[in-house]
Amino acid sequence: MSLTAQQVTAFEEHGVLIAPGVLSDADLQPTIDAITDFVSRRARMLHAQGKIDQLHEVEPFERRYAKLHAQSPEIGHGIDINRMRASAMFDFLRNDHLLEAVSCLTGPEITCSPIQHLRDKIPSRLAREQDFYYDTPWHQDSGVTWEEADAVRIVTCWIPLVDATLDRGCMQVMPDVFKNGHLLHHAEGGTTIRPDLLPQVDPLVAEVGKGGVVFMSQFTPHRSTPNVTDWDVRWSLDLRYQRTGTPTGRPFHPDFPVRSASNPGTVLTDHQSWCRLWEEALSNDPPTKGFHRVV
């Protein structure tokens, strides 16, 4: 779905756009099915090892994972896009409805950044102390890219797979602050904007229904909020796109073209090739320079 002129203007002026109805249930269901299959395989394995008693197979997608996690946090091992490497997830990275909207902000030559995640935000009461990422503090996405990408427009697409309500722990964002560029971050409490530099801005509560997308600049401060439900999981995808040929800020991980009007043959469409790129990247030694830009 193309963004309207008013929506593009809102993004340009505020660095954030909450866009409902970008995606249909049919767009999202294959990814939901892939997650469901992965969780089921993990659950059966843990059940066979005696680490969980109940498989909760009749529970709906938005609740089953929490009930499994309550029995064994090991259910979450390997749940991320570049670890699961599911065919449906690879296909979704090239979803036409999503890319049509993205192209309104990046232009027609689009590359998928390697910074891409699947988030499984369980209810707060189930989170453990070591789940340091659980309530992500105020940060900019530029805080997890190298400086080489600061001159590039990188568009974050935050995509809920269930309704992202305040109770379920939706995001808060700071509009307009992106105009200040990158703010210094430190590592205390998770990669976060240094407290003395945190803008004094009333945050926007970014509630968004399933099928909507929150588009953000890489310089837009945002954070997650607690999930105060009993059993609901706030499943979401965190993807980034930019103009092809520009640095991603993660040169050691694979980016790839997902749309090209000028040279469509460059678009990566083979799932196995994508898997091999990630397998090779993850098998290499990590770079001596850290992933996160902290002082």
207 vs 234: CA distance, rounded Å: 12
- What are the C-alpha distances in Å from 109 to residues 86, 243, 253, 261, 266? 25, 6, 20, 7, 10
Q: What's 53's DSSP letter?
A: S
Measured at the CA of 97, the angle between CA 91 and CA 103, to 5 degrees, comes to: 100
Tell me what pLDDT residue 130 has.
54
Least confident of 170-179, 182-191, 223-232, 242-251: 182-191
Which segments of 8-80 are extended strands (E)?
16-19
Instruction: For the chain, give the mean pLDDT.
Output: 95
Domain 5-25+85-283, CATH homologous superfamily name and number? q2cbj1_9rhob like domain (2.60.120.620)
In whole angstroms, what separates CA 239 from the centre of its chain?
Answer: 5
DSSP 180: G
Mean pLDDT of 214-226: 97
